[in-house]
Structure 1
Amino acid sequence: MTFNLRLNTSRSGSVIDTRERKTLAIKLVLGLMLSWDSEQIFETWDPKQVRLLESVDTYTPFVFLPSNASCFSQRNPFFDLYSLGSIDDLDEAEPSLQFVLLAKALLQIAEGDHLTCLDVDKDSSTVSWDVLNRFRDAIEGYIQDATCGAEVNLEVLPFLHAARGCLDFHTEYQSRLFENQSSQRMEVAWQLAFDTILVKIDDKLSLKSIIAPINPAFAQDPTPDPSPFLGHQVAQHAIHNNDNGTPKSFSNTTIINGALGRQLSLPSAEPSQPNIQLFDSNLGTGSSTAEEFWARLETFHKSYARFVTDRRTESGDETPRRVRIAVLDTGVDFGHAGIADAKEKGRIREEWCHSWVGADAKDEDDELHGTNCAYLLHKSAPEADIYIAKVFNQNAVRYYEAKNIAKAIEHAAFKWDVDIISMSFGLTRPAPREDGDQAKEQSALETYNDIVYGVETAIRKASPRLMFAAASNSGKNEPRAFPARDNPHVFCVHASEGNGQDGGINPEIGSGFNFMTLGMGLELMNRENILKNGRALARHKRVVKSGTSFATPIAAGIAATVLDLAGRVDEIDERVMEKLKRPEGMEKMMRLMSTPKGDVRDRMYYYMAPWHHFTPGWEREERKRRWVWDTINLEFD
């Protein structure tokens, strides 16, 4: 797609690529943000005011830019229009002219068109609701065009989603101030702009890297006065050229650092035996983005609390019944603080535990793989009941233990009557023997095939229950493991950072719906034995772990929460609940909660997290609430 709205000083007038458009969009957003607390507010982002500058050289160290006085307007600062003291009725917040114009600029960058049909009166600091709705309809139309074709247009979607965030900024800003009773207007505004606009343009950004600690002087007056004369010269910032004279792609870091200088910056088993793996590892990945994910998930859980009906207890049974999830793993340790909390709340009980490898499902190894998975399930789905199926003794899985998988699936389905089964393990074909013993190789392959057949049979019997399994942790070196590759009966779960970035451990994506969710940099527990007064004592030790093993219970927990909502929210049609219990129905819902992540080929990952559908603040506005429920209902017509 050609971006026609370019006015650079090059005589060749080269086309701007996707990365450069993102850089331009981010710079425009930050430019407006820097003028928030100033009387000199940018009034328009007209394409005629955008110049892309070439490299500095001996002959052209400056470029002449005719000044346009209409670029700035002497108005009350943005914060004076939307201050905490002026909040009486959140529904009456008037749309901001600057953010509507910014939305239009982002649309222009996305579509490569001047969009003259979307004009707006610039004589007022606000715009009418009719104009706002016209812009909103246009954006939704562009989004539909970008997503409903044979291929999703990943080039334009970031700008369209950011433009949508601009239109909601005025109401969401007031809502956040009102909800938090905060006087930190700048902090609230920057956080909101990051959440709803900047991160939509480039999801690699982090707020900490954008905002250095803001000193009081910067907070009070971040924007220099406009030039007092009609024409002025601007020293060019270097954008180095390729050999053919066209500008090289330049990073967001380069352009933003050049523009904002002192305040802002951006970062940049035996060989012949079937191999059964529990996909976790102590990868050196920090937990900062994971903490952000958990904070957002907790906000989501709080957001829907007002809409669910209370459960009724009749003859000891709750109505509607809680969602039930079975964890097939290494058992559970009730000494773990998170598990103890779940037990106290009645979400895990000792009688809901069963072992196929020894008498006690509560006797787990020191790696606490099953315990950590159960803990993540409870954290992701605090309203769900969790059942524990111990099918392995420890992380070093023995191949004969894999025969327990089929038994546990059938037990979970027909004894416990669970809705969801979570399996944080995978089977891979036996490797060739180094000694070349073909008879033993064939025997191992037959054993593997027998195990796979038994598990497949159990999965088919338990259908249409929802089943989630870990993809594997070997990156592109290995294919998906089994049962994760048993599409469409099992959801294959890939691991992401807490901000949606690929964790780098996922296998090649396959056909169908390839989704990922948080699985990197998770703060979990190991158990270690220490000597105290001559006695061996066990204690829990915090560790940071990563793996598709841990993304699996989080994905299963999100699915469980969706099921719980469908059964307890009056606005959701009754038929939706039954359809969500089937893999094809839950896939539709997970797609609603996902945002696409491009791949080098036509296929792509989807980053799945509830706030992609239940957008921040959705519960506070009738229009947003109606859209959330109606979209779900229409999806299952």
Structure 2
Amino acid sequence: MSSELPAFSWPTDPSLQPAIAPVPTERITPEWAWGGSTGLGMKVCIVDSGVDGDHRAIGGMLRGGAVVEETDDGVEVTEGTHSDLFGHGTACAGIIHSIAPDAEIYSARVLGKNLKGYGSTFVAGLQWALDNGMNVINVSMSTSKQDFAGILREVADQAYFSNRIIVAAANNTAVYSYPWLFSSVISVACHAEPDPFTFYYNPDPPVEFTAPGVDVDMAWAGGKRATGTGNSFAAPHIAGIIALILAKHPTLTPFQIKSVMYYTAKNVRTELAAAEEEKRDE
């Protein structure tokens, strides 16, 4: 019998396996996951309408970006500073900064003044974020166009297998769209509780987690503030928390990050505590 293993196989001899450092699940608490972390060293990209880097809610943490546009010659990517053409991207960036104040913010502007864009620029913006080493990518937008489902899945898988996290907001209407439907991203909808660190695991697919997204006080373009409701504003809460986790535990993979998020979700922690209490009473 041949001793050669097929591609992607793993030897069963522990001495030949990569080292792992498992953590007992009872130790996976919010304090363990992100306690004391500020997001230092993390690069977080907002793929959206741009980011107002001068807004006080961004704290001077905008470090770069790119404008991605559809031209007669195809998609054009221009790196450099730019404005927010709507306010949506600034809102997401401000939420992330409020949670992970030392994380570096980057912007890939793929949407125009009316918050509309092209599937081609959407894909190119995500690719720019990956090519420029972003650790976390916030995507508070989606497309229902099937023509782009395949290439968006490829980009999402590329992120997953290169240990980058895409956090994607679910559609605000009962429409299946992309990339939030893909299992290689972390999909987010909203709940009405105000605490920015309170999130829930959703056991009913396709959305995985819910975070604050109702009547959210947020930054807006031009130094303004606004109040808004939507899954768009829930996703950056999760993106900010993940930036904290990765800054503290930089070797965690996307699979492990999802596991940490599961064990630190409020409803899961409540159920685990109840089960532990019941066990003590036996």
In the superposition, the TM-score normalised over structure 2's length comes to 0.70
Residue aligning to 1:417: 133
As a proportion of its length, which structure holds more strand? 2
String of CA shifts for 1:323-351, please: whole Å, max 9, x gaps. Answer: 22111001111232212x2x1xxx322xx
Alignment correspondent of 2:179: 483
Cα distance, 1:377 vs structure 2: 1.0
Structure 1 residue 304 corresponds to structure 2 residue 20? no
Query: How is 1:134-533 mapped onto 2 (pairs within 5 angstroms)?
Result: 304-305=35-36, 322-339=41-58, 341=59, 343=60, 347-349=61-63, 352-357=64-69, 362-365=82-85, 367-398=86-117, 401-414=118-131, 416-428=132-144, 448-464=145-161, 465-474=164-173, 478-487=174-183, 489-498=184-193, 510-511=204-205, 514-527=208-221
From 243, 264, 270, the equivalent of 1:593 is 264
RMSD (Å) for aligned C-alpha atoms: 3.3
**C-alpha distance in structure 1 between counterparts of 2:140 and 2:188, whole Å:** 9
Partner of 2:7: none
Mind listing any 5+ residue stretches in structure 2 that lack a counterpart?
Answer: 1-25, 70-75, 196-201, 274-282
Return the match for 1:557 from 240, 243, 246. Answer: 240
Say if 1:517 and 1:554, in contact at 8 Å, map to a contact too: yes
Q: 1:572 — aligned with what?
A: none
Counterpart-to-counterpart distance in 2, 1:321 and 1:370: 21
Letter in 2 for 1:362: H
Matched letter for residue 470 of structure 1: A
Q: CA deviation at 1:593?
A: 1.0
Give the drift of 1:522.
Answer: 1.0
Q: Aligned partners of 1:514, 1:419: CA distance in 2, in Å?
A: 20
Shift of 1:554: 0.9
Distance 1:513 1:546 in 2: 17
Gaps in structure 1 of 5+ consecutive residues? 1-143, 145-296, 311-319, 429-447, 501-507, 528-538, 567-576, 597-605, 616-637
Give the match's secondary structure for 1:394: coil
1: distance between equivalents of 2:231 and 2:203?
A: 14
Q: Is the 8 A contact 1:391 1:408 kept in 2?
A: yes
Q: 2:56–2:223: 8 Å Cα contact kept in structure 1? A: no
Displacement, 1:382?
Answer: 1.4
CA distance in 2, matches of 1:590, 1:513: 13
Distance in 2 of aligned mates of 1:330 and 1:518: 21
User: For residue 353 of structure 1, what is the amino acid of its counterpart?
Assistant: G
- Matched residues in 2 for 1:565 and 1:525: separation? 27
Q: 1:337 to 1:562 in 2, by over 3 A?
A: same
CA offsets 1:102-124 (integer angstroms, 9 cap, x no match) = xxxxxxxxxxxxxxxxxxxxxxx
Query: Per-residue CA shift, 1:123-142, capped at 9, x if unaligned?
Result: xxxxxxxxxxxxxxxxxxxx
Answer 1 or 2: which has greater helix percent.
Answer: 1
Between the aligned partners of 1:455 and 1:361, the Cα distance in structure 2 is 26
Partner of 2:5: none
In 1, the alpha carbon distance for the partners of 2:217 and 2:205 equals 32
- Say which one has the larger Rg: 1
Instruction: Please give the alpha-carbon distance, in whole angstroms, between the structure 1 residues aligned to 2:168 and 2:239.
Output: 9
Aligned to 1:292: none
2:276 matched residue in structure 1: none
Taking only the aligned residue pairs, the percentage that are identical comes to 23
Describe the SS at the equivalent of 1:463: helix
Distance 1:513 1:393, change over 3 A: closer
CA distance in 2, matches of 1:452, 1:513: 17
Q: Give the drift of 1:498.
A: 2.1
Letter in 2 for 1:590: M
Change (3 A) 1:499 1:335: closer
The count of corresponding residues between Structure 1 and Structure 2 is 227
CA-to-aligned-CA distance 1:366-385 (integer Å, 9 cap, x gap): x3101111111111111212
Deviations 1:376-419 (Å, cap 9, x if unpaired)? Answer: 11111112122111111134313xx22112222222112x2111
Distance 1:458 1:466 in 2: 11
Q: Counterparts of 2:238 and 2:54 in 1: how far apart (Å)?
A: 25
Aligned partners of 1:395, 1:417: CA distance in 2, in Å?
29
Between the aligned partners of 2:134 and 2:181, the Cα distance in structure 1 is 22
Gap change, CA 1:593 and 1:509, over 3 Å in 2: closer
Secondary structure at the residue paired with 1:356?
Answer: strand
Cα separation, partners in 2 of 1:371 and 1:388, compared to 1, 3 Å: same
Cα distance in 2 between the residues matched to 1:526 and 1:408: 21
> Structure 1 residues 473, 411: closer, same or farther in 2, change over 3 A?
same
User: Once superposed, which parts of structure 1, at least 4 consecutive aligned residues long, lie more than 4 Å away?
Assistant: 358-361
Q: TM-score, normalised by structure 1?
A: 0.33
Query: Structure 1 pair 513/583, CA: closer, same or farther in 2 (3 Å)?
Result: farther
- Listed as ranges, the matches of 1:106-121 within 5 Å are none
SS at match of 2:226: strand
